[in-house]
Structure 1
Amino acid sequence: MSDISQTGFCTECRKTTACRLQTEPVTRYIHGAEHTFSLTTARCEICGADMNPTGLLDVNIREIDEQYRAAEHILTIGDIQTLMDLYSLGKAPLSLAMGFGEVTISRYLDGQIPSREYSDRMRKALSSPAFMKSLLMENKDRLTPAAWRKGMQAAQELEQFSTLSPAIRSVILRLFSHLDEITPLMLQKLLYYIQSLSLTLHNEPAFPETCQAWVHGPVFPSVYRLFRSFTYDPIDDARFSIFRQTPDPLTENVCRVVDLVSASFGLYSGKVLEAVTHGEDPWKKARSGLPDDMHSSREISRQEMKAWFDKAGQQYSLCSCEGLNQYIQDLSFCLFHPATR
């Protein structure tokens, strides 16, 4: 609504007046079918008549477009742009790869609404690199060799995401919806604490992936391989769009744990969380007898994770942010000030 002028010419008052913006149900006909949209309207503050201030028409067009696409399960323009980014293909190459006419994607980016059939095809390509590979193979002769190679390479890289369970993909996506910046190191530790607290608070794992005791703390190898290219930088990855296209399998209990970890452990850097895990028995027992700098693929036992936090739960309220923050502060203080133990 901020794009809309707060004043305009009232045809009833015959002068410029202030207008009141509000949202009302409005019926429109699209392709012969009746649709009701929730649209921004403007009324004169003096007489209450309908007004058309500057910017209102553009806002209404966006509202209708967004609501119609949502109601009909049609991809948005942003989704189509993401599809181009995912597979490193321009407008014309993507059109040809999808089996469309050469200018189809350009028209969609200009605002033309795709048919349900074409929208479903693009949506499936967003969520399934294997499907995109099949389209690229089917339409190989329509593409230049360079475009085809770029698309295939991107699809093959994206297929790595299928190595993750739907549960851990949804956990990662939920973490990124709560936190602005997450490095690969921080992500590994947050996943470790989500798994540990899910085992302790609800007696069930949040996801099936196993955790290993690496030099820098607990690590889920399949997740590490996906994001290692970010090294120490915050993860900023267009590939998350694949996560968004798949059903969310998380239970309410797991969602609560993810939210709890985000609001507590998520306040600390990856290095602080690494240090905290080094003070906990599950990681230390898994690395027992190993030199500090030796790589190891030893698994951190879920039983050890649960046992450690069951014991911690006798001193701290593990189901509250306050209790978890106190746990982190106490453990990190002991690690950095060993003489006070």
Structure 2
Amino acid sequence: MNNKRIDTVITSEEIISILRRYNIGKKPLARLLGWGETTILRYIEGDIPTTEYSKKLISILEDPEYYYETLEHNQDLITGVAYRKSREAVLEIILSSKINKVSYYIMHISKLSKWDISAKYLQCILYYSQVFSLVLFNNELFPDDCMVNDEYIPYENQYKRMERNSSYIINCNNISLSPTEKALIKEVYEAFSWYGPRAFHQMALYDKSSIKISRDQRNRRIFAKDSLKAYYDEVLKIYNIANINEIKRYPGLRLREICERNE
């Protein structure tokens, strides 16, 4: 049994890990990938996968959302029981992350409104959902730190994930957010969806110099949650925004202030 990966060749132990992680059998996985039924078994027993097959298996191992897309796209190639068991397993992995839950809920709202939200604009909704949760509820919506960078992409890992996997929307019934959280996210989405990425860039640029920058454990620049809360708490007081029903007023007020300052 091959247990040590050589370059881009997946190991037998890693293949076994795929089967366990996604609760799928050897034959169903092979069928799902459009391969011969004994392919996975042969690799586990010592055959060396081709570079193409190995790369695909490594992608599946390292990226649950890639596997989810593969499962959804090729579900007719396996039994209904195998599909449901594996789907439950992969969704549990994906939705164990709170920011993933929030992201997929935003994408769900976007789909209902018949608007294909971009990875960049999702960042805007994530950012302001976090901000309004911190200020109005004194509670973080998700634990991820807000990165400070020249591209104004506050949640870089999430941005990269959506860039890779943006085709499938997870059924809203699988997303366990509280009614209050869902209401907040929906209000932020509806308030900001009237404005384009350029408006978000203007607001981010305007605010950036006034928010305290910290460093995380990896020495990356971040806006700590307490800094975000302190800054936007003052802003919302000025705009007299005290509950989620008033969030819709924020973008217009902010952009008007920016325009007046730039005149």
Q: What TM-score, normalized by structure 2, do the two folds share?
A: 0.61
Q: Which residue of 1 aligns with 2:99?
A: 168
1:106-125 aligned at under 5 Å gives the runs none
Residue type at the aligned position of 2:154: V
> Equivalents in 1 of 2:185, 2:224: separation in Å?
20
Question: CA 1:221–1:337 in 2, change beyond 3 Å: closer, same or farther?
Answer: same
Secondary structure at 1:182 match in 2: coil
Q: Which residue of 1 aligns with 2:79?
A: none
Q: Which residue of 2 aligns with 1:317?
A: 241
1:34-113 aligned at under 5 Å gives the runs 84=32, 89-90=33-34, 92-93=35-36, 96=38
Per the TM alignment, residue 175 of structure 1 is displaced from its structure 2 partner at its CA by 0.3
Corresponding residue to 2:211 among 263, 285, 301: 285
Per the TM alignment, residue 316 of structure 1 is displaced from its structure 2 partner at its CA by 3.4
Q: Which residue of 1 aligns with 2:220?
A: 297
Per the TM alignment, residue 147 of structure 1 is displaced from its structure 2 partner at its CA by 6.2
TM-superposition CA deviations, 1:254-287 (whole Å, max 9, x none): 2221111111123322221121122226x64346
Per the TM alignment, residue 163 of structure 1 is displaced from its structure 2 partner at its CA by 8.9
TM-superposition CA deviations, 1:45-93 (whole Å, max 9, x none): xxxxxxxxxxxxxxxxxxxxxxxxxxxxxxxxxxx9xx95xxxx22x44
Residue type at the aligned position of 1:216: E
1:230-241 aligned at under 5 Å gives the runs 236-238=166-168
Unaligned runs of 5+ in 2: 1-27, 67-92
Corresponding residue to 1:336 among 251, 259, 262: 259
Per the TM alignment, residue 167 of structure 1 is displaced from its structure 2 partner at its CA by 1.1
Higher relative strand content: 1
> Equivalents in 2 of 1:250, 1:97: separation in Å?
40
Question: CA 1:326–1:155 in 2, change beyond 3 Å: closer, same or farther?
Answer: same
Q: Which residue of 2 aligns with 1:52?
A: none
Question: CA 1:259–1:98 in 2, change beyond 3 Å: closer, same or farther?
Answer: farther
Question: How many corresponding residue pairs?
Answer: 201
1:187 lines up with 2:122 in the alignment: yes
Residue type at the aligned position of 1:236: S
1:275 lines up with 2:215 in the alignment: no
> Equivalents in 2 of 1:301, 1:177: separation in Å?
28
Identity among equivalent positions (%) equals: 17
> Equivalents in 2 of 1:306, 1:218: separation in Å?
19
> Equivalents in 1 of 2:192, 2:256: separation in Å?
15
Q: What TM-score, normalized by structure 1, do the two folds share?
A: 0.48
Corresponding residue to 1:196 among 113, 125, 131: 131
Per the TM alignment, residue 301 of structure 1 is displaced from its structure 2 partner at its CA by 1.8
> Equivalents in 2 of 1:297, 1:189: separation in Å?
20
Per the TM alignment, residue 208 of structure 1 is displaced from its structure 2 partner at its CA by 1.0
1:306 lines up with 2:233 in the alignment: no
1:212 lines up with 2:147 in the alignment: yes
